[in-house]
Amino acid sequence: MTKSRVLKRHHLIYYLEVHDHETEKLLGHLVDITTRGIKLISKEKIELNRTFILKLILPEGYFNQREIHFEGKSLWSSNDVNPDFFDTGFEVTSLSTEERKIIRKMIEQIGFNY
Q: How many domains does the chain have?
A: 1
Q: What is the pLDDT of residues 63-101, one digit of tens each?
A: 889 999 999 999 999 999 999 999 999 999 999 999 999
Q: Is residue 34 part of a domain?
A: yes
Q: Is residue 81 part of a domain?
A: yes
* 0.85 surpassed by pTM: no
Q: Is residue 41 part of a domain?
A: yes
Mean pLDDT of the 43-72 span: 94
Residue 82 structural domain: 14-109
CATH number at residue 76: 2.40.10.220
Q: Is residue 58 part of a domain?
A: yes
Q: Is residue 9 part of a domain?
A: no
> In this model, does residue 4 exceed pLDDT 50?
no
Q: Is residue 100 part of a domain?
A: yes
How much of the chain is in helix, strand and coil states, percent to nearest 5?
10, 45, 45
pLDDT of residue 1: 39
Mean pLDDT of the 46-70 span: 93
